[in-house]
Copies of this chain bind each other. A is one copy, B any other.
Amino acid sequence: MARTTMEDVAKRAGVSRALVSLAYRNLPGVSEATRERILAVGRELRYSPNRVAARLASSSGDTIGVFLQDLHNDLYADVFDGVREVADREGIPLVLTVGELGGNRDRSALETLKQSRVDVAIAIGLLMSDAEASEVAKDLPLVVVTRKIDGIDSVYSDDLESGRLATEYLIRMGHRRIAFLANPPDDGYRGRRDGYFAVMERAGLPPRVVQSEWSREAAARDIGEVLDSVERPTGIFAHNDQAALGVLDALAARGLRAGVDVSVIGHDNTAGSRLPGAALTTVDLHGFELGRRAAELALSRIAEPARHAEDSPSRPTLIKRETTASYVQPITGSPEASLNRG
């Protein structure tokens, strides 16, 4: 099965291996006639070039590795699409590797990429610490996406701005009790929180952070406790859409209406957020575009391995949908009312 080698084809076609190699790669140096003949023989013998051997022999591998943190997160799929668009354009093969929700697989997945001798790896949604990433980057040129790490090519959306956009919007809508549903406190991924804090402080409002994990279920559970408290927030900014959907779950479970009883903002503008039922207000970080820029950086890294690390930041956009609404002050002396007096 796929046992025939270049040698076989060469012999059968009465030429040397070198010619077969050139013929299959559409390189100059072969007359059109012999190329035809070689390919014909190849088909006849069901020859299939061995990429493994090719990559080992070739000095100029030119391969890009891609690490995807989670196949269930649509944002990453968007980013991947962007990466692939430019990889296709350049005719560069992609080698994929997939992580796992908590980030426990980051290390081994990147290790696999390194051992596969990709020239550079695009890491989408990496969770390992900055220090660990820098360590990896010593042996494997990295381009991190949705994140910024000093000394490493970084493609990201301005998370501080995201935090500001979301929080300011809620405040403008009249909300005062605004909670931030936070991701686990790993390195990186602090911008949204910082933006939230900055705006809350400037507005003289008390921040309220709800720690959670990397899953919709955890988000529903953790925000649930807060929803059951007396001082229930009227606005919630979740660190990403998955978490925001968890908030919607928690609201639904309590008979509360998103966009009516509580306003919710997510982050990423993922496919799920666009759902007619969800209609989640969210912050778009333009995943496809991030992917394209990451691939461009990867290419430039291949072309110039020793160049300085580059940053490629961009601005997020607020997408207003139906889970946010103006805060309407309750009629009686409820906790909400007293808050507004303060």
Contacts and interface: CB of A to CB of B under 8 A. Distances in A.
A205 interface: no
Contacts of A1: 139-141, 305
A100 to B, nearest CB: 9
A276 interface: yes
Interface stretch (A51-59, A174-182, A194-202): A51-59
Interface string A84-117: 1000000001011110000000000001101111
B114 A2 contact: yes
Contact of A252 (B138, B139, B251, B276): B276
A81 B245 CA distance: 22
Contact of A116 (B51, B74, B138, B278): B51
Contacts of A277: 248, 275-279
A288 B160 CA distance: 37
A51 B115 contact: yes
Size band of the A side of the interface?
35 or more
B271 A72 contact: yes
Count this chain's copies in the assembly.
Answer: 2
Nearest to A246: B276
Contact of A50 (B48, B117, B276, B279): B117
Interface string A273-314: 001111100000000000000000000000001000000000
Interface string A118-155: 00000000000000000000111100000000000000
Given A56-B56, A84-B98, A271-B72, A276 B276 contact: no
A46 interface: yes
A249 B276 contact: yes
Given A117-B2, A279-B277, A80 B53 contact: no
